[in-house]
Chains A and B, each alone.
Chain A
Amino acid sequence: MKVVTLTDKTLTDAVDGAIESSKHFKYLNYLYSDVLKEIEHYYWGV
């Protein structure tokens, strides 16, 4: 089975919504601003 890349806004909004409504979000933001800014490629959920 092949890996497909989906850019459908309804789907990406749903994923963003799940991330933003999680208890993890404020810590993910903290990671983004303090740690992940050093990294060009990173992926949630993987």
Chain B
Amino acid sequence: MGGIIREGIIRLKHGVKKDLKDIDILFDDLSVIADIFGLMKGFSGISYNRFGNILWTPEEGVLIEIVPFSQKMNFPQKMTFEPTIQNIISTCDITSSAFGYSSKRKEIYSCGGIEAIDSKTLDLLKAESNPSIVMTRIILQHHKLNFSIGPNATRYIQEHYTDSCDEEIYRYLEYKDNLSMYNTVCKSLRKLSRNSTIGCLLPSQTYLSPEVSFGN
């Protein structure tokens, strides 16, 4: 969640413009019968991710991910409450991702996202996925947005990061086609896990390293 909505609000509040690779669209497949998978069968550039979501790449550098409510309601764990956009956003792991938008209703849904942009500080909301993935996402967003890392996220990293996480981090970044960030993520996590200072900002340039090593 987040992407294009966060981008629009960051542009408004901080005047920073970044190119987006992907836009996600969530649709309600629980209250209506809609064969969106069938409707998109003839499109070129269609593939599916490990959750069965539609990935549409109509041209190079443009990715549109189409996610049904039913997938969001079952991952990372099965939710038993009403499938609403608000409830789905409440499951986001990081404040800076916790956004949704209905262009029909002209409504933005935020769970700490606006505060994250205002303060340029991202923080942990919930950690229901694998800790290595949650920590990797925190560091990736920290470097992408150049936001500080808040106290809950810092504490989470200090409690969960060990060198043994590196293998899962490698696999996750490989899956996300973002292995160039492997050394940066591991070094940032190592530094944060050993640093008692909360909310320290790590300039991404410090960690740029071309080689990818495993388990260091």
Shortest distance from the beta carbon of B132 to any chain A beta carbon, whole Å = 24
Contact yes or no, A15 B28, CB < 8 A? no
Contact yes or no, B9 A15, CB < 8 A? yes
Q: How far is the CA of A2 from the CA of B5 in the complex (A)?
A: 18
Query: CB within 8 A of A46: which of B12, B56, B59, B89?
Result: B89
User: Given A27-B56, A41-B27, A14 and B9 touching (CB < 8 A)?
Assistant: yes
Contact yes or no, B32 A45, CB < 8 A? no
A38 contacts across to B, CB distance below 8 A: 32, 34, 36, 39
Q: How far is the CA of A3 from the CA of B106 in the complex (A)?
A: 16
- Which stretch (B18-26, B161-169, B180-188, B190-198) binds chain A? B18-26
User: Given A23-B61, A24-B20, A42 and B25 touching (CB < 8 A)?
Assistant: yes
Shortest distance from the beta carbon of B32 to any chain A beta carbon, whole Å = 6
Q: How far is the CA of A42 from the CA of B24 in the complex (A)?
A: 10
- Is B201 located at the chain interface by the 8 A CB criterion? no
Q: What is the interface residue range for chain A against chain B?
A: 35 or more
A18 contacts across to B, CB distance below 8 A: 4-5, 7-8, 11, 20
Contact yes or no, A45 B101, CB < 8 A? yes
Contact yes or no, B12 A11, CB < 8 A? yes
Contact yes or no, A39 B64, CB < 8 A? no
A1-45 Cβ-contact flags toward B at 8 Å (1 or 0): 111111111111011111100111001100100111011111111
Contact yes or no, B3 A39, CB < 8 A? no
User: Given A1-B125, A3-B89, A24-B20, A45 and B5 touching (CB < 8 A)?
Assistant: yes
Q: How far is the CA of A12 from the CA of B66 in the complex (A)?
A: 21
Contact yes or no, B8 A3, CB < 8 A? no
Q: How far is the CA of A39 from the CA of B125 in the complex (A)?
A: 30
Residue in chain B with minimal CB distance to A24: B23
Contacts from B to A (Cβ < 8 Å):
1-9, 11-12, 19-20, 23-29, 31-32, 34, 36, 39-40, 56, 58-59, 61-62, 64, 66-67, 72, 85-90, 95, 98-103, 106-112, 114, 125
Query: What are 26 contact pairs spanning A and B, CB under 8 A?
Result: A1-B95, A1-B112, A2-B90, A3-B86, A3-B90, A5-B107, A5-B109, A12-B101, A14-B11, A17-B8, A22-B23, A23-B59, A24-B4, A24-B23, A27-B62, A31-B25, A31-B64, A35-B36, A41-B31, A42-B26, A42-B28, A43-B25, A44-B101, A45-B2, A45-B4, A46-B72
Q: Nearest 5 CB-CB pairs, A to B?
A: A18-B8, A14-B12, A15-B8, A41-B28, A46-B26
